[in-house]
């Protein structure tokens, strides 16, 4: 049942290589770089329909991919009834996301498997910081009037600065969707550039709320503009829209990331979020990233899942790999 040592060594080498990219500094606004983009939805849908059919990941390879997926999860709690106790439990799970007996059976007990980050509201940053003080797990905070973003720009800037001062090392911001819907790309650029400046050394993940942008062409243009403005990651959704992360939207966004890299030499990360609950879905997104961007992006510094329940299903699948039996979901609680 153990994952082969050769594969573990290759993964460690890949991690060290992919973690060394330079941060995207952004660039001056240039409408000529994106104004002619036009996305063919039918072609996008045909492409994503092949993802689960052209590749089949089984047995120890599936277990290895699922362990990689865990390291790319932003373990998230963004509920109205969040308490300090919930966040403490979440952080405990972030530090030990897979049961020790399963890791031992997989030969990965020394691999220090942890999630990519813990994501909370601003008022719970302090609790998360205390719970994670003995780790290097980043703390991400949602900001700028999350999820709707319907507050003033000055308020948004203050929110970012307060969260950074409180200890957040990553900031998930939301854009003003109206700029996209009105094709006011210059205003979108300047808004996001101001967010990036307010973030300082904290990495900025820019949430497009793609379910509210009307067209895939808008998604593509918004992705490019946000990268021009200095986004470290572009993220599909808040998780609060009626339509959240889809493979079609993700394909469009990762191809914009590829184009931006080809044009500038800077790598930008990608984060699908909202509605990703099952291990099978995680594998589909990993396949998408591998095929469209390559192994360099299959690392926590360039790829994240925004999820709250995905981890439980992945752990359940790993238990099936080890024991040959499926357990009830309640055997894999948050913490």
Q: How far is CA 97 from the centre of its chain?
A: 17
Domain 5-15+29-331: give its CATH code: 3.20.20.70
Active site residue 235: yes
Instruction: Classify 83 as helix, strand or coil.
Output: coil
- Note every long-range contact of 188-192, with CB atoms under 8 Å and residues 24 or more positions apart, other chains counting: 188/222, 188/225, 188/226, 188/229, 189/29, 189/225, 189/228, 189/229, 190/29, 190/229, 191/153, 191/229, 192/225, 192/226, 192/229, 192/230, 192/231
307: closest CA among 23, 99, 20, 70? 70
Q: What is the dihedral of CA 6, 116, 248, 275, to 10 degrees?
A: 120
From the list 93, 95, 271, 313, the catalytic residue is: 271
Could you tell me the residue ranges of all domains in the chain? Answer: 5-15+29-331
Q: What is the pLDDT along the chain (335 residues), one digit of tens a residue?
A: 556 545 444 444 444 444 568 999 999 999 999 999 999 999 999 999 988 777 778 889 999 999 999 999 999 999 999 999 999 999 999 999 999 999 999 999 999 999 999 999 999 999 999 999 999 999 999 999 999 999 999 999 999 999 999 999 999 999 999 999 999 999 999 999 999 999 999 999 999 999 999 999 999 999 999 999 999 999 999 999 999 999 999 999 999 999 999 999 999 999 999 999 999 999 999 999 999 999 999 999 999 999 989 999 999 999 999 999 888 777 776 65
Distance CA 91, CA 186 (A): 39
Active site residue 271: yes
Active site residue 12: no
From the list 172, 221, 232, 313, the catalytic residue is: 172
From the list 95, 156, 235, 267, the catalytic residue is: 235
């Amino acid at each position: 049942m153990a994952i082969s040592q050769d594969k573990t060594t290759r993964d460690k080498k890949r991690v060290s290589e992919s973690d060394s990219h330079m941060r995207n500094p952004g660039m001056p606004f240039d409408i000529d770089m994106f104004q002619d983009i036009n996305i063919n939805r039918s072609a996008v849908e045909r492409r994503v329909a092949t993802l689960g059919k052209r590749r089949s990941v089984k047995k120890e390879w599936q277990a290895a991919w699922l362990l990689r997926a865990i390291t790319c999860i932003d373990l998230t709690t963004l509920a109205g009834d969040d308490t300090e106790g919930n966040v403490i439990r979440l952080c405990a799970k972030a530090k030990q996301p897979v049961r020790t007996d399963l890791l031992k059976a997989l030969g990965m007990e020394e691999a220090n498997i942890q999630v990519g980050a813990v994501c909370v509201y601003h008022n719970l940053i302090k609790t998360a910081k205390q719970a994670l003080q003995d780790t290097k797990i980043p703390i991400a905070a949602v900001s700028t009037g999350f999820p709707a973003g319907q507050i003033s720009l000055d308020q948004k800037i203050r929110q970012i600065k307060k969260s950074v001062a409180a200890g957040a090392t990553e900031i998930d911001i939301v854009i003003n969707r109206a700029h996209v819907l009105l094709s006011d790309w210059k205003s979108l650029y300047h808004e996001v550039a101001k967010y990036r400046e307010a973030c300082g050394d904290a990495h900025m993940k820019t949430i497009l709320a793609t379910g509210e942008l009307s067209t895939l062409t808008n998604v593509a243009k918004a992705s490019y503009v946000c990268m021009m403005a200095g986004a470290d990651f572009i993220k599909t959704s808040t998780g609060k829209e009626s339509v959240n992360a889809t493979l079609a939207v993700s394909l469009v966004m990762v191809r914009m990331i590829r184009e931006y890299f080809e044009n500038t030499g800077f790598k930008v990360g990608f984060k699908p979020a909202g509605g990703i609950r099952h291990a099978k879905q995680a594998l589909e997104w990993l396949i998408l990233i591998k095929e469209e961007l390559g192994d360099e992006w299959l690392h926590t510094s360039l790829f994240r899942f925004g999820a709250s329940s995905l981890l439980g299903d992945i752990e359940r699948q790993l238990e099936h790999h080890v024991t040959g039996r499926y357990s009830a979901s309640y055997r894999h609680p948050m913490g």
